[in-house]
Chains A and B, each alone.
Chain A
Amino acid sequence: MRSIDGAVLDLKRLDLLATGDSIIHRLDARAKVITTLFFIVMVVSYKRYALAELTPFLFFPVITLALSNLPISYILKKIAAILPLALFVGLFNPLFDRETQVLLGPVAISGGWISLISIMGRSALTVGSAFILIATTGFIAVCHALNRLGMPRVFTIQLLFLYRYIFVLTEEATRTTRARELRACGKKGLGFSSFGPLIGHLLIRTWARAERIHMAMVVRGFSGEFHSRQINRFGHKEYLYVIGWSLVFIILRTEDITRIVGAAFTGIFS
C-alpha cells in the first residue's frame, strides 16, 4: 500500500507546485487547458510509425517547463514512472510487426520496434504536458477551466469530488492495511479469508470519512460550487499563448519540419 500512498502524496505535491508563481502559473487556466488539449490531440493523431516527426513537439513541454520554475528532475521522474506502462502497451508490437521500415546502414529496423518507441514517445509527451498543466495550474482550477469551456457542471463536480476522495480512500486504505499487517506478526498476511471483511470495512470507513468531510464543507457554506483563487482574465497574453502554440502545432503537424530541415542541410552540403 505504501506505493499507492506515495502516488497520492505525489498528486498532492503536483497541486502544491501549482501554488507557485511564474509567467505560466499566472496565465488563465483556460488558455493552458485549451493549448494542452490541442497539443495532446495533435501528438496522438500521428500514424503509428511516426517518430522523427514527433521530436519537434518536444518544444512545447520543454519551453513551458523552462518558463514555469518547476523542479525539472521531479517532472522527468514522474514521466519516467509512467513509461513502463507504455512499454507494456506496445510490448508485442516488435513480435507481430516484423516488416522492415528503416535501414540504418546494415541494421534493419522493423515496424514493430518503431511503433513501440513511437508509443512511448507519445505517452511521454502527452502525459508530460498533462503533468505540467496540473503542476502550473492546480487540479481544481483545471476543472473550473473545463467547466467554463463547456463541460457540464455535473461532471465538474464529480471530478472534483473524485479527486478529493481519492485522498480519503488511500489514507483509509493505508491505515487499514497497516493495522492488518501489524497483526499478521510478520507472516505474509492472514490469507485471503481476511480480505473480504477488510475491503468491506475499508469501504464503510471511507464512506463515513467522506461524509464527515462533506459535512465540513457544507458547514462552511459549500453549495456545490468550488471556487479557485486563480484570477480569471482571458487577456492578450492568453490569446497570444493559445494562438501562438496552436499555430506552431498545426505547422508541425502539416509540414514535415524534420524533412525540410534535413533537406536544407543536405542542400547546403551538396
Chain B
Amino acid sequence: MSHHIVEVKNLKHVYADGTIALKDLSFTIHHGESVAIIGANGAGKSTLLLHLNGYLAPTVGEVRIGGFPLTPETLPEIRRTVGMVFQDPDDQLFMPTVYEDVAFGPCNLGLPEEEVRQRVGEALEKVGAGHLAQKPPYHLSGGEKKRVAIATVLSMSPDILVMDEPTNGLDPFSRRQLIGLLKDFHHTRIFTSHDLDMVIELCERTIVLHQGEVKADGPTVAIFNNAQLLAECRLEKPLSMQGCPICGRS
C-alpha cells in the first residue's frame, strides 16, 4: 500500500435503532492530504470516521483504503494503516501505565519485545511525553492524555491519522501545543472538529457534512467564506476570519 488513498463511495449507514446517520457519501482523500470534516452535532462525523478502519460496516456502499476494500482479510493491515484517535482520551487509555498503553498496539501486531520498546520510546518522544512512560494514564492532565492517546496510534506507524475532535476540551496552551504537533505530521490526516480556527491552520481541504450528506467539499478558505453555506449547516465563520469585535477591522 504505497498510496494511502481513502475512497468512500455511496456510503450509507443505518444504525440498529433505525437512525439514518449517513445517507449517500462519496469522496476521495489523497496521499498526504490534510482534510477536515466539519458539521453540526449529529451530522454523522463520528459515524463516518468509524467506517474508515472498519469498526462499522457500511449498510450500503463501500470504503477503500489504499485501493483495498475492507474485508476480513485486509482488516488487520487496514487497522494498522489507519490510526484512530478518539474524542475522549479516557476511552483510549486503558492499561495500567502509559508505556503499556502505547505498547498495546505493537504487541497486538506481534512485534518482538525489542522493537516494541523502541517504537514506544519513539512515539512518546514524538509527542513530548517520554517522561510520562511509567505514569498511570488516569493521573495525567487533559493535554497530556491527548498526546499520549496520539502516541498509542503512532506506535503502530500508521500511514493515515484519523482524529475525532482533537482539540475538544483542551486549554488554550495545550491546544496550541497539539496543533503544533499535528502540523509536523506528514501522514494523510483526517480530522473532525468544531474548532474551525484549528481547521484553518491544519487543513487545506474541508468536507462539510449536514444531516448525513456531503454539503460541500473544497478548499477550506473558500468554504469558510461562504456565509450562506455555513449558516445552512449550523456553522459559523471561524473567529480568525471575522472582523475584530471591538474595532470592527478585519
Seen from chain A, the residues whose Cβ lies within 8 Å of a Cβ on chain B are 12, 15-16, 18-19, 138, 140, 164, 167, 171, 209, 212-213, 215-223, 225, 227, 229, 231
Contacts of B107 in A (CB 8 A): 227, 229
Among A16, A18, A219, A227, which residue has its beta carbon within 8 angstroms of that of B55? A219
B202 to chain A, nearest CB (A): 22
Chain B residue nearest to A171 (CB atoms) is B90
Assembly CA distance A229 to B99 (angstroms): 10
When the two chains form their complex, are residues B55 and A215 in contact, meaning their CB atoms are under 8 A apart? yes
Q: How far is the CA of A76 from the CA of B158 in the complex (A)?
A: 46
Stretch at the interface among B78-86, B175-183, B225-233: B78-86
A124 to B82, CA, bound (A): 49
Residue of B nearest to A220 (CB): B105
CB distance from A171 to the nearest CB of B (A): 8
Cross-chain contact B94 with A212 (CB below 8 angstroms):
no
B window 113-161: CB within 8 A of A: 113, 116, 134, 136, 138, 152-153, 156
Measured CA separation A138–B100 after assembly (Å): 12
A29–B219 alpha-carbon span in the complex (Å): 56
Which residues of chain B have a CB within 8 Å of any CB of chain A?
50, 53, 55, 76, 79-80, 82, 84, 86, 88, 90-92, 94, 96-97, 99-100, 103-105, 107-109, 113, 116, 134, 136, 138, 152-153, 156
Q: In the complex, which of the residues B88, B100, B104, B113 contacts A212, with contact meaning CB atoms closer than 8 Å?
A: B88
Minimum Cβ distance to chain A for residue B64 (Å): 18
Evaluate contact between A221 and B91: CB separation under 8 angstroms: no
Whole-angstrom distance between the Cβ of B37 and the nearest chain A Cβ: 17
Q: How far is the CA of A220 from the CA of B105 in the complex (A)?
A: 5
Residues of B within 8 A of A229 (CB): 100, 103, 107, 113, 116
Q: From residue B150, how far is it (CB to closest CB) to chain A in Å?
A: 12
Chain B facing A: main interface SS: helix
In the bound complex, what is the Cα–Cα distance between A213 and B88 (angstroms)? 10
A168, closest chain B residue (CB)? B94
B50 lies within 8 A of A221 (CB) = no
CB-CB under 8 A for A216 and B108, given A12-B138, A16-B136, A221-B79:
no
- Check B96–A12 contact: CB distance below 8 A: yes
Check A217/B94 contact, CB under 8 A, given A212-B86, A222-B108, A227-B108: yes
On chain B, the residues within 8 Å of A15 by CB distance are: 96
Q: How far is the CA of A222 from the CA of B132 in the complex (A)?
A: 24
Interchain Cβ contacts under 8 Å between A and B, 8 examples: A18-B96, A19-B96, A164-B94, A212-B86, A219-B79, A221-B105, A227-B107, A229-B116
Point out the residues of chain A lying under 8 angstroms from B82, CB to CB.
Answer: 219
Inter-chain contacts of A19 with B (CB < 8 A)? 96-97, 99-100, 134
Shortest distance in angstroms between A222's beta carbon and chain B's nearest beta carbon? 6
Report whether B84 and A219 are in contact in the complex, using a CB–CB cutoff of 8 Å: yes
